[in-house]
Amino acid sequence: MSKDAHVGPPLWLLAELTYECPLHCAYCSNPTDLGKREDELTTEAWLDVLTQARELGSVQLGFSGGEPLLRKDLETLVEHGRQSGFYTNLITSGIGLTEKRIKQLKAAGLDHIQISFQAADPELNDAIAGRGKAFDQKLKMAEIVKSEGYPMVLNFVISRQNIEQIPQILELSCQLNADYVELATAQYYGWAFDNRDHLLPTQQQLRHAEATVNGFRDQQDNAGPQFIFVTPDYYEDRPKACMNGWASTFLTITPDGSALPCHSAKILPLDFPNVTEKTIADIWHKDFSFNHFRGESWMPQPCQSCDEKEKDFGGCRCQAFMLTGDMNRTDPVCSKSDDHHLITEAIEQAKNPTAPLKHRKRVADIALMKL
Amino acid sequence: MTHAPNVPKMNTLFRLQFEKAQGCFVLLYPEGMVKLNDSAAEILQQIDGLTSVDEIQHQLQQKFPQAGDIRDDIEEFLATAQAKRWISYV
């Protein structure tokens, strides 16, 4: 394909090892259909994925999920990733981590650990996570991660559930001596999309939170954690440059081996390839689904004639699909979109949620709880 | 002439390596990558937490005799690297 000439390597490889997770956060962006554990890729298949992607030029490797610690072969995969030259990132809830495992992972060559927190105190944290004692465990593990010499990133998904705690979150991050702290407002995919009315902060809450973070940053004097505040695109006039452009930089492999240009693309009406059936090079450079939204020729109006199309690439395909039912449309976040009213309606709707909050759980688990 | 702080060391957040696919040296850090130009890569490769700025200058001067006086370039780059927290001083 002629489009192919400009395609660089998938610099970022996200290995979603399992969708199993000990937490039940309502903001989770995993698919609401979590699949079956039996369908997960084998150790050998993952090793092969890492080798192939590295040869293609991938350099950042994220082990994610669900909770990647639930895979007993994590150390094996980390070791192979590191030896192949990847910068290896573990993205974890901290649940299931032990001092022994932190040391084993270090010995295997793990470069960095990112721990998620749900709030700055045990009560709220454990209520959001749907699991008792989660906060204490995270705290303990964060201390050991630092004492073992890892760079540590803390990730707080910010929503209406915890946005009033920003000052305490900033303080906790300093106490734990984090290197980077992501204050990322929830993105409305997967479970979070279903729970949007409960999660989306008001514009006033957001402005206040952002001002608090900026004020804190100003008095930091180039010391302590670096705070990164990510606002939700629902309050922007232009869409986010989703994944830096479709299949330009990111490659996600899901637990069952599906290859995706982003972690939520599986919802789209496109057939995505599987690493057990095709090579990574073929997937990245030749697959119909990966080429489908590359470049500009697919773009509808108003994107096609917009002078900002090279900045945001028409926004997020998943968001266009979830909100309008058509993945080919302009992201409704854009104020130029004919569908932009869907966003203003969503903001209005979130002021009075009608459906109950849905904690992330397996259907089988829910059935069990009803018994 | 020696003046403190004089011995730079890499911040453990960053890993320096050659990337074949990029055709250059890069600094890797949590979820990110910085591509380096040739002179930045040459200077960073000399940093080991033991070698002083004077010695780094001397070594690079020997390696690239045609480059002329490179002291200012080195100091300028090290100042940038320190501001970006790639390096600190022992």
Residue A94 has φ and ψ, to the nearest 5°, of 90, -15
Q: Does B32 touch chain A (CB under 8 A)?
A: yes
Nearest residue of chain B to residue A180 (CA atoms): B30
Q: Does B23 touch chain A (CB under 8 A)?
A: no
pLDDT of A125 reads: 97
In tens, the pLDDT along A77-108 reads 999 999 999 999 999 999 999 999 999 999 99
Distance from the first to the final alpha carbon of chain B:
18
Residue B65 has φ and ψ, to the nearest 5°, of -60, -25
Inter-chain CB pairs, A–B, below 8 Å: 46
Where does the pLDDT of residue A232 fall: very low under 50, low under 70, confident under 90, or very high at 90 and above? Answer: confident
pLDDT of B90 reads: 87
Mean pLDDT of chain A: 94
d(CA A177, CA A179): 7
d(CA B12, CA A103): 17
ipTM of the complex: 0.89
What are the angstrom distances between the C-alpha of A157 and each of A60, A125, B70?
22, 11, 47
The burial class, CB within 10 Å (0-12 / 13-18 / 19+), for A215 is exposed
* Nearby residues of A112 by Cβ (< 8 Å), 6 or more positions away: A87, A88, A89, A90, A150, A151, A152, A153, B29, B30, B31
pLDDT of A370 reads: 54
pLDDT of A243 reads: 93
What is the enclosing helix (H) or strand (E) of A156?
strand A152-158
Range B8-84 classified under CATH 3.90.1300.10 = no
Give pTM, 2 decimals. 0.93
The ranges assigned to domains in chain B are: 8-84
pLDDT of A368 reads: 60
The closest CB to that of A111, out of B15, B33, B83, belongs to B15
Nearest residue of chain A to residue B11 (CA atoms): A151
In tens, the pLDDT along A298-345 reads 999 999 999 999 999 999 999 999 999 999 999 999 999 999 999 999
Nearest residue of chain A to residue B17 (CA atoms): A85
Return the CATH number of A12-230, one of 3.20.20.70, 1.10.10.10, 3.20.20.100, 2.60.40.10: 3.20.20.70
